[in-house]
Amino acid sequence: MNIFKQKRIPPPSYRPPLEAAEIIQLFSQLTLHQQAALMRLMSRNLVIKTGDDEIMGYELDFNVDGALIAATPAEDED
């Protein structure tokens, strides 16, 4: 028995994916500020369609407003 042998952790691509219940449970434990940060990351793959208009997720700012996360159009930094 080798006490110095380290346990190998497989890379993420070899680990089984998390189930939906595990994701929901993890998300519910996050603070609103952490959830807003996660939404900023997810917004890169988000398109919001409203009638004839399409808003890309990266065009929005996600900020905590009281007990909610508010998505507002991003202001240009030019």
- Identify whether 70 is part of a domain: yes
Residue 1: the pLDDT is 60
Tell me the average confidence (pLDDT) per consecutive run of 10 residues in the chain, 78 residues long: 73 77 88 93 92 92 94 82
Q: What is the pLDDT of residue 78?
A: 59
Is residue 75 classed as helix, strand or coil in its secondary structure? Answer: coil
Domain count, the chain: 1
Residue 15 DSSP symbol: S
User: Which pair of structure tokens corresponds to residue 17?
Assistant: 């994916």
Tell me the two tokens of residue 38: 């996660």
Is 12 a domain residue? Answer: no
Identify the domain containing residue 46 by its residue range.
31-78
Confidence (pTM): 0.65
**pLDDT at res. 60:** 93
**Is residue 6 assigned to a domain?**
no
Q: Are 41 and 34 in contact (CB under 8 A)?
A: no
